[in-house]
Structure 1
């Protein structure tokens, strides 16, 4: 663990943001460090592989012993932008250890996944009980569907009997869980235009159509007063497992006193099996830079979370049609910069899930439970379609309080140790069921 922690600090200090407009050099540097770390784990073949339209994937493999299965390990080395530095209690790209937690962008999502793989593989000192394949991608946070196309074109490179996706986590620290469902996602940018250029609000306000006002009306129409989605054809789903209590959710999400939650149905239904539409950005004048003008153009970025069985394209079409219908005053509306990804629903499990249950119970001291995840991992559904007989197992060190995608992201180091231990025990158990005497 001391070496793993130092490796995570080094990797998380690299601002590997693979979004447009951010420098490419740090992303490529993170790929190089990831390649170096996989070599240190004793894998005989490690290389960077170009991915069309994206950053390179780091790939590694080791052959399976006679009769043993092969396991694919997945994670990603790119991270979300840090956002407002003033919202961070520590510098986002200067990993800082406080009370057993390592703070910094990417310490949890998903560089903890890379380190979990590396630490677990190091335990075998190059003598792996299973065949090992490792795939670490470089643009999951912005455009993971580009790796999907790569997998579809190179199935033999990726083929495995079990696939570990280390990009989820437990509801609470020390509360082991296996993620059995993921929502799909879609995202788009909407632009509204009303005037050739912005005009003086005193001379023209009250008659000139304001693009920002039109856009706000359109976006707020997506939900009713209770917070449920109004778009036809997007019904609320249901999740059979147990979700968090309302108080647990309020504490984790940081909901302010007196502010109610939105939507209907159980929290598990809302978070893991229903649609969610979120406006994640507005391209309009800032408050500090505001001038007295009626706006000619306004833009927004909208993200949609889709139930595991939902179709991203159909969902996107329904939302775009709805926004066109509610557009006021004959404004000009256009859409672009589309991203889509399918959801995932696991089967009940087989040999791999049984081995994972035993490994997780040894590492955490208690058996895991099934949970859903509201987030999306674009690659997972492609892996499921490409390799329908493979077991896909999702777990990791990103607990619900890890603040992924938010200021003050952190990973708990004890949770990271337990996760890496789980993976090492799983590989031993899955490769040789009698090796651990369990």
Structure 2
């Protein structure tokens, strides 16, 4: 740890603030939509932009194109390091430089790929997810300057929004680039733009395709409807059988757990309803704390359903129906185990003797932090000093599968999940934005954290 004070770090961030916002604005303008092709020239330019910015901060960076598991060219990744002392701790800074697409720009109130500041928020696709993470890392390095007391390695990924298919092969091929004592993943968010958070847990995810068959072929609904139900109706009955009367899952073998590190504050129902645009008439489903329902208890969503569209429909009983289920698992449950439990339940619960086939798809493990680790204590103190309020730890209902993979490959490393988002950020949605108040303090917090980790 160097002698640099909290007030000095805050002062340095203030002095460099315009440069930090400018970096983020230029990143938004690159429109690095990986869904348009991870090997595209726009993705290469995005990676080169990030690498060049880091070089200006003393980080020896390069752009490396990954290779997919099938041997085809993969994403453009940014890797690099700044070694200040071989005996000092090494911190790996992670963010991703790819962003979500913009399916309909007309529903945005600003131009999606033009950074626009309104009422202390900067709007633009990728402003929060994860341009904000890049800005936090760059800003903290800028603030520390020559007072940096830790070795820094960086990995800025180019395909996170596409599921990171080449992530593990890339790590395996460049293991030395990831060896570290602490890994800071800046791809999550805070309780609010005024209250900081460490992300304590992430749910896992598993997906299955389910096909329900009731007939050998479609038949006339007037001639055979009554003793035979159409496959769409039977599929709906099968889906509903997963839930009890209050909307809680009742699938045997699906595990739940309490919020990691204890529940410091439950999620406010009014805020949840506003943020999710929940209809006033809707009664929230499930039981126990809202936090546990969103962070550590399993949930199932129907994310796809193959059925004849209403336009052009006619009086026929559908012989089969296929739907896709996404199951969010408790952080500690193996997704393969949950997938098998879900498949067994669906097959056992087939209504009226319908034939149910379950096709297993991808799995992603959840993650839980160690609330007692030294790095966690340092991070919480840094957040309090930066924001002026006690941090409130929070879980995430979503999944970031590479985090448990990183933890498995580097078990000695302490993993911290931070990030630039807040409940109003609208990541993956129209009008994505980042709080400039929160961003400034997140930069200060990470600089303070790296200063503390230098010991």
TM-score (norm 1): 0.86
What is the aligned-residue RMSD (CA, Å)? 2.9
Q: Deviations along 1:58-93, whole A, 9 cap, x unmatched?
A: 212112424211100111223344455554444444
Greater Rg by CA? 2
What per-residue deviation string (whole Å, max 9, x for no partner) do you get for residues 326-385 of structure 1? 34453463525x222212222234442333233222221123232222222112112222
The answer to whether residue 252 in structure 2 is matched with residue 229 in structure 1 is no
Are 1:246 and 2:266 counterparts?
Answer: no
Q: Residue 145 and residue 180 in structure 1: after superposition, are their counterparts in 2 closer, same or farther (change >3 A)?
A: farther
Q: After the TM superposition, which of the residue ranges 418-427 and 186-195 deviates more from structure 2?
A: 186-195
Which residue does 1:371 correspond to in 2?
394
Q: Does 1:423 align with 2:423?
A: no
Check whether the contact 1:143–1:339 (CA below 8 A) recurs between aligned residues.
no
- Aligned-pair CA distance for 1:232: 0.9
CA pair 420-233 structure 1, distance change in 2 beyond 3 A:
same
169-178 or 400-409, which moves further after superposition? 400-409
Mapped to 1, the partners of 2:44 and 2:304 lie a distance apart of 27
Residue deviations 1:144-176 (CA, integer Å, cap 9, x gap): 364135435543320111111101111112101
Structure 1 residue 290: Cα displacement: 5.2
Query: Residues 314 and 15 from structure 1, CA distance in 2 versus in 1: closer, same or farther, beyond 3 angstroms?
Result: farther
1:342 matched to 2:358: no
Deviates more, 1:148-157 or 1:301-310: 148-157
Q: How does 1:17-416 map to 2 (within 5 A)?
A: 17-19=33-35, 22-24=36-38, 25=40, 26-53=42-69, 54-85=74-105, 87-125=107-145, 128-144=148-164, 146-152=166-172, 154-192=174-212, 210-239=230-259, 240-242=262-264, 243-287=266-310, 294-295=317-318, 298-328=321-351, 330-331=354-355, 333-335=357-359, 338-416=361-439
In the other structure, the counterpart of 1:9 is 25
Note if contact 1:49-1:59 (Cα within 8 Å) is conserved in structure 2: no
**Do 1:161 and 1:390's aligned partners in 2 also have CA atoms closer than 8 Å?**
yes
Contact (CA 8 Å) 1:35, 1:48: kept in 2 or not?
no
Please give the alpha-carbon distance, in whole angstroms, between the structure 2 residues aligned to 1:12 and 1:292: 50
- Counterpart contact for 2:346–2:356, Cα < 8 Å: no
Conserved in 2, the CA contact under 8 Å of 1:177 and 1:370?
yes
Whether contact under 8 Å (1:140, 1:378) holds in the other structure is no
- Contact kept, 8 Å, 1:38 with 1:46, in 2: the verdict is no
Distance 1:322 1:88, change over 3 A: farther
Gaps of 5+ in 2: 1-16
Distance 2:115 2:313 in 1: 36
In 2, distance between residues paired with 1:43 and 1:381?
26
Query: 1:59–1:133: 8 Å Cα contact kept in structure 2?
Result: yes
**TM-score, normalization by structure 2:** 0.83
Compute the displacement of 1:113 (Å).
0.9
Unaligned ranges ≥5, structure 1: 434-438
Change beyond 3 A, Cα 1:62–1:326: same
How far does the alpha carbon of each residue in 1:289-328 deviate from its partner, in whole angstroms, 9 at most, with x for none?
6566554654433222111211111011111222233344
The 1:18–1:326 alpha-carbon spacing in structure 2 relative to 1, beyond 3 Å, is farther
Aligned partners of 1:145 and 1:379 also within 8 Å: no
Which secondary structure state, in structure 2, belongs to the residue aligned with residue 106 of structure 1? coil
**8 A Cα contact 2:75 2:166, kept in partner:** no
In structure 2, do the counterparts of structure 1 residues 220 and 146 end up closer, same or farther at CA, with 3 Å as the change threshold?
farther
Secondary structure in 1 matching 2:19: helix
CA distance in 1, matches of 2:19, 2:299: 40
Give the equivalent residue in structure 2 for 1:436: none
Residues of 1 paired with 2:184 and 2:67: CA distance? Answer: 21
Q: 1:316 to 1:138 in 2, by over 3 A?
A: farther
Partners of 1:195 and 1:209 within 8 A in 2 = no
What is the rounded CA distance, in whole Å, between the counterparts of 1:339 and 1:294 in structure 2? 32
> For 1:37 and 1:291, how far apart are their aligned partners in 2?
59
Q: In the superposition, relative to structure 1, how do residues 44 and 295 fare at CA in structure 2: closer, same or farther (>3 Å)?
A: same
CA distance in 2, matches of 1:365, 1:149: 42
| DSSP-derived class of the 2:336 partner | helix
2:14 counterpart residue number:
none
